[in-house]
Copies of this chain bind each other. A is one copy, B any other.
Amino acid sequence: MEHGGWNFKILDVDLSDRRIKEKKLDLETARKFLGGRGLGVKILCDASQKHGVFEAFSEENPLVFAVGPLTGLAPMSGRHVVVSKSPLTGTIFDSSAGGFFGVELKFAGYDAVVVRGRAEHLVYLEIEDEHCEIKDAEFLKCSNVTETSVKLGRGGRKVACIGRAGERLVRFANIMSDVHHACGRGGLGAVMGFKNLKAVVVRASRERKAWWKHNGIADAEKFEEAKEDMMRLLRASPVLKALSYYGTAALVNLVNYMRIMPTHNFRRSFFAAAENLSGETIREKYELRSRSCYGCFVACKHFTKSGVKIPEYETLWAFGANCGNADLEKIVKANELCDDYGIDTISCGGTLACYFELTGRFDTTASEGGVVSGSGQEIVELVRKIGERKSIGAELAEGSLRFATNRGRRELSMSVKGLELPGYDPRGVFGQALAYATSNRGGCHLRAYMVSLEIVGKPKLVNRLTFDGKAALVVIFQNLAAAIDSLVLCKFSSFALSEEEYARVLSAVTSLDYKAEDLLNIGERIWSLERMFNLKHLGRLEDTLPERFFESLDEEGFEKALREYYHLREWSANGVPTRAEGLHC
């Protein structure tokens, strides 16, 4: 096969006029943007060029489901990406999830599905190899994720859908696939809700799957070699070993020990009761089963014997320390509700913490471990109210920034560009602070997981309490993350692999010659394009952190690092890309 990896086919669906087209993905675009996040960003920017500035909740806003050249082929590649303009941040937004949906889409024959316009009533999209149909979904109205997935998932169909939160335009609603896997954070579930698109359902025929396995890789021999080298490194990684055993809950004790666990809406950085929520405690308390995404040996997701999902680190923190809650069972319950309603747990927890602070719940608490009594039960109830958009839930469903601003207390929203911050206190990881401030999708740890360098020490330990030298590292990590999101691979792989391994396997799959630098250059291209989109759609961007942090964080050092960051990106002194050869938005 001349070029493996891609289908070179995009399904383009307009819900407004119920038009379904197949478009060609040209080799040049594939080569330059790979797939996944990169391809989605390119499609959003094309739409922005055509339509000018559009709203997240508008017919002009495309919703792109995309896979990459490595999806379903390389180790840890059972993922897909969704890209659209976010109703929470107003920025361009990509979000990815593991599971089986992405691989099914790829094997069915598509690199991406672009959904445009808005249906008149609730519909879902059904794809079976080259057949695609827009189907009525009124019978699924108000059904949550589990119910929807069961009803649409018969016969091995893979389902990506929204729950009530998405239908009700909760600004941090998720798109859930394979029941348990979330495309989270920026509310792309609400974009789906706005479009009246309840679900995308995919099935690849046995023939198509067999075809991919036999023909999808350009150089099978080189691929096997590259894969073997990757697998050796992956299996040797102590971090992946910990993720296999504990899941991301392994982080609870480490993060707290390092005094960077945001507590009480980031008023403190240590939660005395953290042990209650730790990976170690969870393993003691529950008999665990692990489940993997497509073809992954790590299997980082854990479930109880009766099938209840163990929350991720971010969730344990967001509904735990950040809300002053040490009741593990209530967190498990809140997490279950979030998954079923299709709600992002970080933004939800961050919004609740903001609400708790605003209503004085943290002021009177002198209780042991920073625990706010009754908070666990309250969280569960509030999650339900958000999912239903009922009473206070309607206000909270707007996210912490809108909520706090409406209440005249904007400063209590612990967010960057409107996205609630995750569970690593920037006052103790300066590189992560800079990464938060400059992130293209707002307060996110996954655009550049500097914690890996600053806390986990992988691939190399760096001093976490200085801004010096961090700008260059943030640029590298942002570029690499953008490349990984476009390949599409799981970011956990980067605890063990470096650019070289990615480039080798990509070269083997596609028969194109990719070097390690090429991947970083592709990442840079995607990053610049995202920045251009954001500048066009939002005007000047605030690359900063909530005021609270600068009470103790060295603001001058931060500003200096930010200037250095602009300089390294070859942007103007106020952060505008100046050298964007051939990039348009």
Partner-B contacts on A (CB < 8 A) = 229, 232-233, 235-238, 241, 457-463, 466, 468-473, 475-476, 480, 498-501, 516-517, 520, 564, 567-568
What B residues does A517 contact at CB under 8 A?
461
How many copies of this chain? Answer: 2
Which B residues are in CB contact (< 8 Å) with A459?
458-460, 498
The answer to whether B564 touches A468, judged by C-beta atoms less than 8 angstroms apart, is: yes
CA A98 to CA B472, docked complex, whole Å: 35
Supply 27 A–B pairs (Cβ within 8 Å), ascending by A.
A229-B238, A229-B241, A232-B235, A233-B233, A233-B237, A233-B238, A238-B500, A238-B501, A457-B498, A457-B516, A460-B460, A460-B499, A461-B498, A461-B520, A462-B472, A462-B476, A463-B472, A466-B472, A468-B471, A468-B564, A468-B567, A468-B568, A469-B469, A469-B470, A469-B473, A470-B472, A472-B472
B residues near A480, Cβ cutoff 8 Å: 460
**Taking CB as reference atom, which chain B residue is nearest A231?**
B236
CB pair B499 A461 closer than 8 Å? yes
Provide the residues of chain B in CB contact with A458, threshold 8 Å: 459, 498, 500
Residues in B neighbouring A468, C-beta threshold 8 A: 471-472, 564, 567-568
6 smallest beta-carbon distances between A and B, as pairs:
A469-B472, A459-B459, A232-B236, A236-B236, A233-B236, A461-B499
Which B residues are in CB contact (< 8 Å) with A471? Answer: 468-469
A241 to B229, CA, bound (A): 10
Q: With contacts A460-B476, A461-B500, A461-B517 known, what are 9 further pairs, Cβ within 8 A?
A: A229-B241, A235-B236, A459-B498, A461-B476, A463-B476, A468-B564, A468-B567, A469-B475, A469-B564
Q: How far is the CA of A463 from the CA of B564 in the complex (A)?
A: 15
- Chain B residues positioned under 8 Å from A564 (CB to CB): 468-469
In the bound complex, residues from chain B placing their C-beta under 8 Å from that of A229 are 236, 238, 241
User: Residue among A468, A501, A516, A520 with the most chain B CB within 10 A?
Assistant: A468
Instruction: Give min CB distance, A327 to chain B, whole Å.
Output: 32
* Cα(A235)–Cα(B228), bound, Å: 12
Q: In whole angstroms, how far apart are the Cα atoms of A463 and B524 in the complex? A: 12
Q: Pick the contact of A460: B241, B457, B466, B498 (CB < 8 A).
A: B498
Chain B residues whose CB sits within 8 angstroms of the CB of A461 once the complex forms = 476, 498-500, 516-517, 520
Contact, CB under 8 Å: B238 / A457: no
A458 vs B296: C-alpha distance in the bound complex, in angstroms?
A: 24
Determine the chain B residues whose CB is within 8 A of the CB of A241 once the complex forms: 229
For A463, the chain B residues whose CB sits under 8 A away are: 472, 476, 520
* A469: chain B residues within 8 A (beta carbon): 469-473, 475, 564, 568
Nearest B residue (CB) for A472: B469
- Expressed in whole angstroms, the Cα–Cα distance for A459 and B470 within the complex equals 16
Q: How far is the CA of A461 from the CA of B475 in the complex (A)?
A: 12
User: What's the Cα separation between A95 and B352 when bound, in Å?
Assistant: 59
Known A471-B468, A567-B468: A457·B232 in contact at CB below 8 Å: no
With a cutoff of 8 Å between Cβ atoms, the chain B residues found around residue A475 in the complex are: 469
Contact of A499 among B235, B457, B476 (CB under 8 A): B457
